[in-house]
Amino acid sequence: MDPTGAAIEHELWQSRLSRFGRVLAVVCLLYPGLNIGFSLWLHRATLFSLVSVLPLLASVTFAALWLLLRGAPRTRAFVLTVELSTLFVGTGALSAMALVLPLVSTPESVVRGALTYMLFGYAVYVPSTARRMLVVASLMTLPLLTCVFLAYRAWDPALHEPPVGLLPKNAAVGQIAPSMTVYCFIWWAVAVAMATAFSRALYGLRKQASDNRRLGQYTLEEKLGEGGMGVVYRATHAMLRRPAAIKLLLPDRTGPTDLARFEREVQQTSRLAHPNTISIFDYGRSAEGVFYYVMEYLDGFDLDELVESDGPLSPARAIHVLAQASGALAEAHALGLIHRDIKPANLVLTERADESDVVKVVDFGLVRTLAPEKGEAAVTNANTITGTPMYMAPEAIMAPDSVDARADLYALGAVGYYLLTGQHVFEGATVLEVCSKHLLEAPVAPSLRLGKPLAQDIEGVVLGCLAKRREDRPATAHALREALLACGDAARYDVEAARAWWRERGAVLRARPKSAPSEGHATMAVDLRGRDESLVVP
Q: Which uninterrupted H or E stretch holds 235?
A: strand 230-237
Give the Cα-Cα-Cα angle 63, 65, 69 (nearest 5 degrees). Answer: 120
User: Which among 301, 406, 412 is positioned nearest to 360, based on CA atoms?
Assistant: 301
Question: Which position among 258, 302, 304, 341 bears the catalytic label?
Answer: 341
Q: How many CB atoms lie within 10 A of CB 336?
A: 14
User: Which among 303, 307, 284 is positioned nearest to 294, based on CA atoms?
Assistant: 284
> What 8-state DSSP symbol labels residue 314?
P
Contact between 2 and 104 under an 8 Å Cβ cutoff? The reply is: no
3 state SS of 244: strand
Q: Measured between alpha carbons, how far is 7 from 373 in angstroms, rounded to an integer?
A: 43
Identify residue 400 by its one-letter amino acid code.
P
Residues 6+ apart with CB under 8 A from 105: none
**Residue-wise DSSP of 471-535:** GGS-SSHHHHHHHHHTSTTGGGS-HHHHHHHIIIIIHHHHTSPP----GGGSEEEEETTTTEEEE
Contact between 364 and 283 under an 8 Å Cβ cutoff? The reply is: no
Identify residue 456 by its one-letter amino acid code.
Q
Q: What are the two backbone dihedrals, phi and then psi, of residue 159, each rounded to the nearest 5 degrees?
A: -100, -30
Q: Measured between alpha carbons, how far is 22 from 67 in angstroms, rounded to an integer?
A: 8
**Residue-wise DSSP of 494-510:** -HHHHHHHIIIIIHHHH
Q: Measured between alpha carbons, how far is 362 from 342 in angstroms, rounded to an integer?
A: 9
Q: List helix spans (H) across 70-164.
A: 76-95, 97-100, 107-125, 130-153
Q: What is the dihedral of CA 36, 40, 41, 43, to 10 degrees?
A: 130
Scored b (16 or more CB within 10 A) or e, 482-494 reads: ebbeebebbeebe
Residues 6+ apart with CB under 8 A from 232: 223, 224, 225, 226, 245, 246, 247, 248
Q: Measured between alpha carbons, how far is 349 from 359 in angstroms, rounded to an integer?
A: 5
Residue 2 annotated in active site = no
Cα 234 to the center of its chain, rounded Å: 4
Residues 6+ apart with CB under 8 A from 510: 299, 300, 301
> What 8-state DSSP symbol labels residue 175?
H
Contact between 228 and 535 under an 8 Å Cβ cutoff? The reply is: yes
Q: Measured between alpha carbons, how far is 494 from 228 in angstroms, rounded to an integer?
A: 39
Residues catalogued as catalytic? 341
